[in-house]
Structure 1
Amino acid sequence: MRKGFHPLDNIDVVYYINLDHRTDRKDLFLEEMQKMNIPPHKIIRIPGVYKPGKGDWGCSLSHLHAIKSFHESNYQNCIIFEDDFVFTQDPSFVHNAIQSVFDKNSNYDVCMLSCSSGKTEPTTNPLLLKLYEGQTTSGYMVSKPFSKTLLQNYQESTQLIEQSYLRGKGYSIHRDFCIDQYWKRLQPVSNWLVFEPKLGKQRDSFSDIQGGFVKMTV
């Protein structure tokens, strides 16, 4: 990789969510960023919210804190990562893919680096698909104009999860309130995109949400 080059030239800030006790994931994530030559000054850690036995709630609150930080900042484009994200494409491909979002005037709202996707359709950019139904919060770009809409969606999501737990409802009841389910109401009516091929996936590791080792495919 040439000196001074990094794949996220057009991204102002990289947020990553990391629980305080998961120093193992923090180290691995920062190693991943170093491999991609991402300048350390662009990387901001968001302390994850730990809710034992209620990992879905903690995850949603953590992403709420990340998007709130971005919305209140002067940054125009960000990526929000979870700390188990790993790139599956080489740095040059990642750079070209992300650069194409800006070169081709995609006017994106959200662009997912990894995703478990349902309905999609082609766009004029061969590296991007329009996403109508997609989940997984491991890595996604957000534009500043859309941050307020996403923030409001996350606030609603976390409030509904909290109310569900307070009523004693189980995960099967409130799972539709998790942010990567609740945001699906925004996807058909916004310029919500996903890279194709995907740029990364979640690393196989112990999951605090699942309570055990998880082998990830996306």
Structure 2
Amino acid sequence: MKVFFLFFISLTTYAFSINLESHILPYETDLSTFFKCFLGEPAICELENIDCIYVINLDERKEKWNNTVEKLSPYALTYNRFPAICGWKFSDEKFNHIKGKKCLLSKGKIGCILSHLSVIEDAYDRNFQNIWILQDDIEILRSPFLIDEYIDRLNELDPEWDLLFTDLDMRKPGDSSKLLRATCITGGFRGDQEVHKESWYLKRKNISDDFQKIRMRYGFHSVVLSRKGMKKILYYFKHVKLHTCFDIDIHFIPNIREYGLINPIIVNDSNWLISDSLSKLIEIKNLPSPYNELKNIMLFNHHGWFGENNAKGLKTLIEQRRIKTVVELGSWLGKSTMYIAEHLPEDGKVYAVDHWLGSRVHHNNKAVKNLLPTLYEQFLSNVVQKNLTEKIIPWKMTTVEAAKKMSLEGKLVDLVYIDAAHDEESVYQDMSMWYPLIKEGGVMCGDDWGWGKNLPVQRAVKQYAFDNNLKYKVYGNFWIIFKTKSFIVKRHKRSLF
């Protein structure tokens, strides 16, 4: 017991004896006088959670810029080229002034630090809340539009986050299972700088299926910064003497909150090896049916309709009622389908029922008409890109055909989510055919309670509930009926209206 107590005291003493601010100066250096201004007004991007995308590129590397444009052009994203600062053009006098006496960085590395800080200060001065910084040596693995969803999820997990690395950690050449070791920990820190042990910095922790909490890594090829993160980075670099590379020194910022994507969106094209999971994701032939029938995986398309009340309601139902098997009637491109699948347990399944031909409304809508010829292929591609092929089972048929199929297979489900045809007759028919296929204690729910001039969905739900002596609940456009053991048709069908 005494030995344990002494060991505990030593650990506590070690933890509290480290002053991670020991190398931070009490005054601001003149580093910001070497920052570069962004000329003109940067274009705002289409992503909801990103104000601006900056791509850092040297004027001397036009071929890299052309390559980046080629990689980004299929996604129709608005981004801004930031002309990087070329440190190799510094005079020796200027270079020595910036780096100081003990810094061993090259002119090029100093230029890299100043380029990134220039972008961050530009964004901070423009009051941007979140920015995405890209370097010009990237490959794109998955749709950049996934960033919006990831930021929403990260905000829920940690509203105080600073950095989100959306790229793959640089890997050890010849062994993709091993990360490139950050050697700066043992030899790259300042003489007056107190640091943790190397094992502390190399530790990673998965905090969800999407995110990993990190303390140090190599590379800054694709990073999202929050406004809090921008402020911390700018303050830090204006109050220290430059010593090591930008992508390493940021990890020494006190209380910096850093995360990485477990399944990255971007990789560095000069030194990367894709993980096994992503290799399978891209190899169509290895996917389960019907995903393996795709001729090619289309770019991710996040189009769809899925309200906040629906999302919150479904998440609550899944968690509180331990839902495992869901049928979704009407899936479109899978926005709600994928949300449901992501919140189910690992062995959960979503049967996505849709003929993927579109309705009359869709055919008359110019905004979505162009999606119709490849609607099904786009749905499959979206599910592949989200790595949910094991959870989502597409049934390409009508809701009536699907109900008969489910009945013949003798299956009962935990939850049915109705969002298919919106006319009163079709909604009533879907409820009539699917309610008997729900387990006792299960749920029938749906979208668009307030949709349409004559409120056809609302009329159908009220009528079906009245005819079968059921109660319903409504939250905005989201409606719910719980199946109880007392489900007996007690009334003769007649209209309420």
Fold equivalence (TM over 0.5): yes
CA 1:91–1:61 in structure 2 vs 1: closer, same or farther (change >3 Å)?
Answer: closer
Match of 1:143 in 2: 226
CA 1:217–1:106 in structure 2 vs 1: closer, same or farther (change >3 Å)?
Answer: farther
Q: Name structure 2 gaps, 5 residues minimum.
A: 1-44, 89-105, 171-178, 180-201, 275-497
Equivalent position amino acid for 2:75 in 1? M
Further displaced range: 113-122 or 189-198: 113-122
2:248 to 181, 189, 195: 181
Per-residue deviation at 1:72? Answer: 0.7
Asked if the contact 2:47/2:145 (under 8 Å) is kept, the reply is no
Match of 1:10 in 2: 49
Match of 1:160 in 2: 242
Q: Name structure 1 gaps, 5 residues minimum.
A: 1-5, 162-176, 205-214
2: CA distance between counterparts of 1:7 and 1:135?
29
2: CA distance between counterparts of 1:80 and 1:139?
6
Match of 2:71 in 1: 32
Matched position secondary structure for 2:242: helix
Per-residue deviation at 1:32? Answer: 2.2
Which of these two proteins has the greater Rg computed from alpha carbons? Answer: 2
TM (norm. structure 2) is 0.34
Match of 2:268 in 1: 202
Asked if residue 84 in structure 1 is aligned to residue 168 in structure 2, the reply is no
Asked if residue 193 in structure 1 is aligned to residue 276 in structure 2, the reply is no
Asked if the contact 2:144/2:265 (under 8 Å) is kept, the reply is no
Asked if residue 55 in structure 1 is aligned to residue 108 in structure 2, the reply is yes
Match of 2:61 in 1: 22
Please show how residues 48-127 of structure 1 align to structure 2 within 5 Å. 48-52=84-88, 54-91=107-144, 96-102=149-155, 104=157, 106-114=159-167, 115-116=169-170, 118-123=202-207, 125-127=208-210
Per-residue deviation at 1:13? Answer: 0.5
CA distances 1:194-217 after superposition (whole Å, capped 9, x unpaired):
11122211123xxxxxxxxxx444
2: CA distance between counterparts of 1:31 and 1:95?
22
Matched position secondary structure for 1:135: coil
CA distances 1:31-88 after superposition (whole Å, capped 9, x unpaired):
22222231x2xx2221111123622111111111111111111211001111112222
Asked if the contact 1:110/1:191 (under 8 Å) is kept, the reply is yes
CA 1:84–1:160 in structure 2 vs 1: closer, same or farther (change >3 Å)?
Answer: same
Q: Percent identity?
A: 21
**Structure richer in strand, relative to its length:** 1
Per-residue deviation at 1:134? Answer: 1.6
TM (norm. structure 1) is 0.72
Asked if the contact 1:64/1:155 (under 8 Å) is kept, the reply is no
1: CA distance between counterparts of 2:249 and 2:129?
24
Per-residue deviation at 1:122? Answer: 1.7
Asked if the contact 2:138/2:268 (under 8 Å) is kept, the reply is yes
2: CA distance between counterparts of 1:70 and 1:183?
17
Asked if the contact 1:202/1:217 (under 8 Å) is kept, the reply is no
Matched position secondary structure for 2:86: coil
Equivalent position amino acid for 2:84 in 1? G
Per-residue deviation at 1:149? Answer: 0.9
Equivalent position amino acid for 2:251 in 1? K
Number of matched residues? 182
1: CA distance between counterparts of 2:139 and 2:239?
29
CA 1:154–1:108 in structure 2 vs 1: closer, same or farther (change >3 Å)?
Answer: same
Matched position secondary structure for 1:11: coil
